[in-house]
Copies of this chain bind each other. A is one copy, B any other.
């Protein structure tokens, strides 16, 4: 029996596996990203790159919490110009590269997108959602109008597949996803971290230098999964799931919820680089055991039955 293929196509990008690393996780240098790829990822995602070099926030920038981590790295990055060579190096090694990027203004977003496109990235991921940095655009990801505007402007700079990565820290993620779609996004990545914090009870102060940080890992999985579910119902473009994926069962939940591909970040902390291979293998077994011939058949499957479920949910009134 020949092995079932895990290949997927997301927004025109053909990948041997639906797995990628999450932006900012291990995305600083080509050799590490190559290792992610060699561990089984279908593509790698770079650290979010901005217009100029940033050291990020001073330490502490990471705190372990129950079933997850809080981080406030502060978007350290060497700047788009510097990163051109890193992308080229990755391409030379044969690694499909999704370049994550951000800016402090609409113009900066466009400028960085253009630089990274020219460098040879295979796709771009617009980070509309970092909760740790607020520049001119404020908390970009919570303003549908701004998301549409930034997406549309970037859209004009590049013909690459454009993912827009959203924040879960919003009242209605569907609205923002639709704005990104209108702006010309080819896919939605859902989601970035939840805004949280931790306090040291002896020093009596927040631990993170930035006071608040982004919660990731298994703790956020139910929330991120719900975001994927909602976004998948709201838009016609593919959704890339992200948030707490740790086991192959998690991955299947995301696919069933409507994700066409997945990014895995914090699980590397607990499961190492091996997580990519393990999740691939689990997905493959699941496809086989359930008689599917490819990942595409699984994507969004839980929505069909979801509607029948909804009607039962309304039975809240007295029935005894």
What residues of chain A have their CB less than 8 Å away from a CB belonging to chain B? 52-58, 65-68, 70, 72, 74-76, 133, 139, 142, 169-172, 194-199, 201, 203-206, 209-212, 215, 218-223, 225-226, 229, 244, 249, 252-253, 256-257, 286, 301-302, 305-306, 309-310, 312-313, 315-320
Once the chains bind, are B222 and A57 in contact (CB under 8 Å)? no
Chain B positions within 8 Å of A169 at CB level: 171
- Whose C-beta in chain B lies nearest to the C-beta of A311? B209
A283 to chain B, nearest CB (A): 11
Query: Are A309 and B198 CB-contacts (below 8 A) given A55-B317, A66-B219, A315-B57?
Result: no
Query: Are A229 and B66 CB-contacts (below 8 A) given A309-B205, A316-B133?
Result: no
7 A–B contacts, CB within 8 A, in A order: A54-B316, A58-B315, A142-B172, A194-B223, A195-B223, A201-B249, A205-B306
Once the chains bind, are B55 and A219 in contact (CB under 8 Å)? no
Chain B positions within 8 Å of A194 at CB level: 194, 222-223
Complex-state Cα separation, A131 to B309, whole angstroms? 17
Once the chains bind, are B211 and A57 in contact (CB under 8 Å)? no
Once the chains bind, are B195 and A212 in contact (CB under 8 Å)? no
- Whose C-beta in chain B lies nearest to the C-beta of A246? B66
A280 to chain B, nearest CB (A): 16
Once the chains bind, are A206 and B56 in contact (CB under 8 Å)? no
A50 to chain B, nearest CB (A): 10
Complex-state Cα separation, A170 to B52, whole angstroms? 32
Chain B positions within 8 Å of A75 at CB level: 316
Complex-state Cα separation, A221 to B253, whole angstroms? 24
- Whose C-beta in chain B lies nearest to the C-beta of A139? B171
A58-B312, A66-B218, A196-B222 given; 11 more Cβ-contact pairs under 8 Å? A58-B313, A65-B221, A67-B218, A75-B316, A76-B316, A198-B222, A199-B256, A199-B257, A201-B252, A219-B220, A219-B222
Chain B positions within 8 Å of A313 at CB level: 57-58, 72, 74, 209-211
A16 to chain B, nearest CB (A): 23
Once the chains bind, are A65 and B222 in contact (CB under 8 Å)? yes
Once the chains bind, are B302 and A253 in contact (CB under 8 Å)? no
Chain B positions within 8 Å of A301 at CB level: 204
Once the chains bind, are A66 and B67 in contact (CB under 8 Å)? yes
Chain B positions within 8 Å of A220 at CB level: 219
- Whose C-beta in chain B lies nearest to the C-beta of A201? B252
Top-9 shortest CB links A-B = A196-B222, A67-B67, A66-B218, A219-B219, A205-B305, A197-B226, A142-B171, A210-B313, A199-B253
